[in-house]
């Protein structure tokens, strides 16, 4: 094959394991042979619309086989896939489409109204209309004309827009080689097998759901079970009925599953791997799952690294609690001080990453130079064994009385309080100290804990300057779909001078 990119994966899998199940959605199974036929049909339809090598093909829709098929069909043509977040407002969608210069927007039928609202002049194509042929399913009418567009590993595969928690989002350009090497890292470090049954409930338009979970499974020839939206009861049901062996989620998802009435009686015996990311896993969550014989594999990543950077295997979940692990097999990480020198163990610095999974650059910007280390904007440190700990975002740190305070460290301590369901910490102006911490706390239902209870709990756990000076109460903590706290939204709503004590 002249196509060395991921668009060739369905054809390569179809010749090796044609009858194995590739995708399951709402009870419907698709074999690898059928996936190849559907991808080929869609690729011909996109070519008929004028899509050529290098053109951008955007997709708007929830987790569904059509998402995966559109990605592979674009790759078969050498086009660049642009997944769109279904939670974005119309102006945000319009920006991503305009910025990427998308040639066509393919959308799920459920997103037809949103697609029509986008003020962007480009073809809007309903996926079902594109894939249909004379009213018959493509698996009943095979296409004999193959597509073997020359695609090199270094060609752009997809543009994934960052969450844009501050300012405009930027499109990370991930090459076919980036995606492939990231998948190889996953196969090595998680011992993923061809017998894997992977539940993908995290959104595919985010890098963890697509690149850490779905694509490595399909590369290996396993089975991907797609769930369009997270529902803890439905997840527990699918684990039982589909005999799920691995899944990815953020801590809030796993907490919701453990709080569901089905939890106590759920058959979880098939689960082999629970991958968690987006935020550190609280110790109480780790302990809840250990009681059911389940341990978390944790990690740290970013869209710009396809996304795997660090990985902590399940056997280290307790011994190295709070750590994000060591670099993935083919990835290198440095913790760098402000003067450019490597930080020593225990010393904070900015995490930088290099490897074949790191993006080629941002769309419309200067590409990364060969061998360039990507600055993550995250502060971290390593221990004597080389395990890395994420301290906080550089921009979220605040200075109180000349001391650096990293909110994530304080948040982890507050979450140990038995009455706290969720929390976030921000810096607020103070006449004496410059800035002091303020805890935004969500209490568990029925709790009567006071601000004094929360702050008193921290004495002896944290240095005095790290302990917030005030507490305010909230119903929820705003987060991105990947689980990151939206600090700008918190500051806007909770940084007023009035204290909550």
For residue 174, being part of any structural domain is answered with: no
Specify the DSSP element, H or E, that contains 482. Answer: none
Per the structure, how many domains does the chain have? 2
Cis peptide bond upstream of 397, omega within 30: no
Residue 162: is its pLDDT beyond 70? yes
What is the Cα–Cα distance from 303 to 326, expressed in whole angstroms? 18
**Residue 264 tokens, joined:** 């106590």
What is the Cα–Cα distance from 291 to 6, expressed in whole angstroms? 40
Q: Domain end: 151, 168, 192, which one?
A: 151
**Residue 93 tokens, joined:** 């969608």
**Residue 120 tokens, joined:** 């962007």
Can you tell me whether residue 429 is helix, strand or coil?
Answer: strand
Average pLDDT of the chain to the nearest whole number: 90
Residue 157: is its pLDDT beyond 90? yes
Among residues of the chain, what percentage have pLDDT more than 90?
Answer: 71
For residue 317, being part of any structural domain is answered with: no
Q: How many residues does the chain have?
A: 501
Strands 470-473 and 28-31, sheet pairing: unpaired
For residue 402, being part of any structural domain is answered with: yes
Q: Domain end: 127, 151, 175, which one?
A: 151
Residue 71: is its pLDDT beyond 90? yes
For residue 83, being part of any structural domain is answered with: yes
What is the Cα–Cα distance from 124 to 315, expressed in whole angstroms? 48
pLDDT tens per residue, range 174-196: 999 999 999 999 999 999 999 99
Strands 223-226 and 273-276, sheet pairing: unpaired
Strand partners, 459: 462
Can you tell me whether residue 312 is helix, strand or coil?
Answer: strand
For residue 146, being part of any structural domain is answered with: yes
Strands 171-175 and 361-362, sheet pairing: antiparallel
pLDDT tens per residue, range 304-362: 999 999 999 999 988 998 899 999 999 999 999 989 999 999 999 999 999 999 999 99
Residue 136: is its pLDDT beyond 50? no
Can you tell me whether residue 19 is helix, strand or coil?
Answer: coil
Tell the residue number behind the tokens 């439905």, with chain if given: 234
Q: Domain end: 122, 151, 180, which one?
A: 151
So what's the pLDDT on residue 166? 47
Residue 141: is its pLDDT beyond 70? no
Residue 135: is its pLDDT beyond 50? no
Compare 156 and 399 and report the one with higher pLDDT.
156
pLDDT tens per residue, range 424-476: 999 998 887 888 999 999 999 999 899 999 999 999 888 888 999 999 999 99
Range of the domain at 58: 1-17+30-151
For residue 422, being part of any structural domain is answered with: yes
pLDDT tens per residue, range 283-316: 888 999 999 999 999 999 999 999 999 999 999 9
What is the Cα–Cα distance from 257 to 319, expressed in whole angstroms? 24
CA distances from 386 to 298, 303, 334, 343 (A): 16, 23, 10, 12
| Nearest Cα residue to 462 out of 429, 487, 431, 437 | 437
What is the Cα–Cα distance from 309 to 352, expressed in whole angstroms? 9
Residue 500: is its pLDDT beyond 50? no
Domain harbouring 75, CATH code: 3.40.50.980
**Residue 333 tokens, joined:** 């990480």
Compare 488 and 51 and report the one with higher pLDDT.
51
For residue 192, being part of any structural domain is answered with: no
For residue 250, being part of any structural domain is answered with: no
Domain harbouring 444, CATH code: 3.30.300.30
Q: What is the pLDDT confidence band of residue 167, given thresholds at 50, 70 and 90?
A: low
Neighbours of 37 (CB within 10 A): 21
């Amino acid at each position: 094959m002249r196509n060395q990119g991921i668009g060739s994966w369905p054809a390569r899998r179809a010749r090796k394991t044609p009858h194995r199940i590739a995708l399951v959605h709402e009870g419907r199974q698709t074999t690898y042979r059928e996936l190849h036929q559907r991808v080929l049909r869609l690729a011909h339809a996109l070519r008929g619309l004028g899509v050529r090598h290098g053109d951008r093909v955007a997709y708007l829709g929830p987790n569904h086989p059509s998402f995966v098929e559109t990605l592979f069909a674009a790759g078969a043509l050498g086009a660049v896939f642009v997944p769109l977040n279904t939670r974005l407002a119309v102006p945000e969608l319009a920006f991503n489409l305009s910025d990427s210069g998308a040639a066509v927007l393919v959308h799920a039928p459920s997103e037809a109204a949103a697609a029509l609202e986008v003020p962007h002049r480009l073809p809007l194509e309903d996926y079902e209309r594109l894939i249909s042929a004379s009213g018959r399913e493509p698996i009943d009418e095979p296409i004999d004309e193959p597509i073997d567009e020359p695609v090199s590993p270094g060609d752009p595969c997809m543009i994934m827009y960052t969450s844009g928690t501050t300012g405009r989002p930027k499109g990370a350009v991930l090459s076919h080689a980036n995606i492939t090497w990231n998948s190889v890292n996953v196969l090595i470090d998680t011992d993923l097998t061809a017998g894997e049954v992977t539940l993908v409930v995290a959104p595919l338009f985010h890098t963890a759901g697509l690149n850490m979970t779905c694509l490595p499974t399909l590369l290996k020839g396993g089975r991907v079970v797609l769930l369009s939206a997270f529902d803890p009861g439905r997840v527990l049901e699918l684990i039982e009925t589909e005999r799920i062996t691995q899944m990815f989620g953020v801590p809030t998802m796993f907490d919701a599953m453990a709080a569901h009435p089905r939890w106590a009686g759920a058959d979880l015996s098939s689960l082999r791997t629970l991958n968690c990311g987006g935020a550190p896993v609280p110790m109480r969550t780790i302990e809840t799952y250990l009681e059911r014989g389940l341990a978390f594999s944790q990690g740290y990543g970013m869209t710009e690294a396809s996304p795997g950077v660090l990985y902590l295997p399940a056997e280290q979940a307790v011994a190295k609690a709070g750590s994000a692990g060591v670099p993935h097999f083919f990835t290198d990480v440095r913790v760098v001080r402000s003067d450019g020198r490597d930080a020593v163990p225990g010393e904070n610095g900015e995490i930088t990453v290099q490897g074949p999974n790191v993006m080629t650059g941002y769309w419309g910007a200067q590409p990364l130079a060969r061998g360039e280390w990507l600055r993550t904007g995250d502060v971290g440190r390593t221990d004597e064994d080389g395990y890395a700990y994420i301290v906080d975002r550089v921009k979220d740190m605040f200075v109180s009385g000349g001391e650096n305070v990293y909110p994530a460290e304080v948040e982890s301590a507050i979450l140990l309080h038995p009455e706290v369901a969720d929390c976030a910490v921000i810096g607020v102006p103070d006449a004496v100290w410059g800035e002091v911490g303020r805890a935004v706390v969500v209490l568990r239902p029925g709790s009567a804990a006071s601000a004094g209870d929360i702050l008193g709990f921290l004495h002896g756990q944290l240095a005095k300057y790290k302990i917030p000076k005030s507490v305010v109460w909230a119903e929820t903590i705003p987060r991105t779909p990947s689980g990151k706290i939206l600090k700008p939204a918190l500051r806007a709503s909770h940084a007023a001078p009035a204290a909550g004590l």
